Amino acid sequence: MRIGIDMRPLQTAHRGAGIGTYTFNLVRQLMRLENVDEWRYLTLSDVPIDHLHIPTPFPVSRPAIKNHIAFWEQLLLPIDLLRSRADVFHATGGLTQVWEICAPYFQPCRTVITVQDLHPFVIPQFRFIAETRAFRWQMKALQKAAHLIAVSQNTKQDIIRFLDIPEERITVVPMAPGDHFQILDENNVQAILDQYHLQRPFVLYVGNYNMHKNIELLVESWAQLDLPVDLVFAGTLSTYPSSLMDRIDQTGRKAYVHFLGSIPYYSDTLIALYNAATAFVFPSLYEGFGLPVVEAMRCGCPVIAAGRGSLPEVVGDAGILIEPDDIEGLANAMQRLIDDPAWRMLLRERGLSHVKKFSWEKTAKETLAVYHQVA
C-alpha cells in the first residue's frame, strides 16, 4: 500500500503550533514502525523541514501567485496525489486558517483527515471563519473523506454535532507529549531559572495569546494571591494585547510578570520551566486536545485547567479543573499549590502516572491501523 502524508504543516505558519507538532511527532514515529508500506511524504520543495529527515520527499505544487491560494490548492493537490499514485492520503492539517494546506475536496484516493478541533463553530469570536468559502470547502472535504481522526472524544462529538458525520467514520487517536519532556537534573533547571531571573514559586502559562485562551482569568486570579509570586508567560509577545498589559500594570505587581517570548518546542528552557513551575495553568475556554497539559505533567508539574472542551478528558483526575469564569476558584487552587507541599507532590505523582497513557508510538500505531482500515 502506498501512503501519502501531507508534510506541509511543518513548512508553513503551523510548524510551531499544534498541527505542526502533531505532524512532526506522528511522522517521526511512523518512520520507526516496522511495516511493508510505501510512503509518499508530500512536501514543498523550497521550504526545509527542521529536526526531521525525510528519506524520499515527494514535491507538491504551490501556486506562484498567492491570490485565491485556497482555490488553486484545491486543484493542484489532487493532481499531485494522482502523480504520487497513493492509495491512502492523510491530511494531517485538515482544518486550518492557513489555506495553503487545506484538505482537498477532490479526493482521487482514499483520504484520512485529522481534525484537531472545530473552534469556528464553537467560539463566537471565530464565527466569521466559518462563513469563508475556504472553510466551507474544508467542511465538504471532511464530509467526503473516507475516515476522520479526532484527537479527542470532545472533537469527535463536535464533528458529529456540527457536520452530521456518522461516528463509525471517526476514530479517536489522542496526541501525546514529546519524549524530550522529562524530569531534569535540578542543577540544569536552576541554571535556566538564573538565566531568566526567575524565583520559585512561580505560575506558568505556555502558549500565544488568543481570546479563547482566557488568560485574563489567570491574571485576575494571580493578582489575588496572598503574596506576589512570579507569573511566567512563554509565548510570542506580539500576540499579547495592550489591554492585557494595562491590566497587569493595574495589579501593582507588574515587576513579578515575565514574558519570555516564544520558546522552541525542543528547547531545554521550555522543559526546565515545566520542571520548576509550582503550577501550570491552562484556563482555555476550548481546546481540541491541549498539548501543554500533558507536556507539563510529563515534567512533573501540577496542572490547573478549565473544565471545558477536551481538557477534562485529557487532565482526568490528575489535575485541578476550574470553571473558566471563577476568579476566586483559580486563585484558591494556585494558593493551595503554593502553600501545601504535600498536595503539590500528590498532583505531581498523579500527573506522572496519568501521562503514561499518552505516547506518540501508540498514536502512530493506531493511525497506521486507520490507513489499513480505509484502504
Give, for all 375 residues of the chain, the pLDDT tens digit: 999 999 988 887 566 677 889 999 999 999 999 888 999 999 887 777 777 888 888 988 877 766 667 777 788 889 999 999 999 999 998 666 555 667 888 999 999 999 999 999 999 888 888 888 888 888 999 999 999 999 999 999 999 999 999 999 999 999 999 999 999 999 999 999 999 999 999 999 999 999 999 999 999 999 999 999 999 999 999 999 999 999 999 999 999 999 999 999 999 999 999 999 999 999 999 999 999 999 999 999 999 999 999 999 999 999 999 999 999 999 999 999 999 999 999 999 999 999 999 999 999 999 999 999 999
CA separation for the pair 65, 72 (Å, rounded): 9
Reading the block at residue 205, the C-alpha cell is 502559562
Query: Nearest 5°: CA angle at 15, between 21 and 74?
Result: 105
Domains of the chain (ranges; CATH) run 2-176+359-374 (3.40.50.2000), 186-357 (3.40.50.2000)
Q: What is the pTM of this model?
A: 0.93
The set of residues, in sequence order, having a beta carbon less than 8 Å from that of 348 and lying 6+ positions away, is 300, 301, 302
Reading the block at residue 263, the C-alpha cell is 520558546
Length, in residues, of the chain:
375
User: Which parts of the chain fold into alpha helices (H)?
Assistant: 18-32, 69-84, 119-122, 127-130, 133-144, 153-163, 186-195, 215-222, 242-250, 268-276, 291-298, 311-315, 327-339, 341-354, 360-374
pLDDT at 205: 98
Helix (H, G, I), strand (E, B) or coil at 233: strand
Q: Are 314 and 293 in contact (CB under 8 A)?
A: yes
Q: What are phi and psi of 195, to 5 degrees?
A: -60, -35
Strand arrangement of the beta sheet that strand 88-91 belongs to: 57-60, 38-44, 2-6, 88-91, 110-115, 147-150, 170-172
Q: Which of 188, 270, 187, 288 is nearest to 233 (CA)?
A: 270
Return left, alpha or beta for 309; rule: phi > 0 is left, psi -120 to 50 is alpha, else beta.
left
pLDDT at 260: 97
Q: Are 311 and 305 in contact (CB under 8 A)?
A: yes
Q: Please compute Rg for the chain using Cα positions.
A: 21
* Percent helix, strand and coil across the chain, each to the nearest 5: 50, 15, 35
Q: 202-206 and 303-306: which strand pairing?
A: unpaired
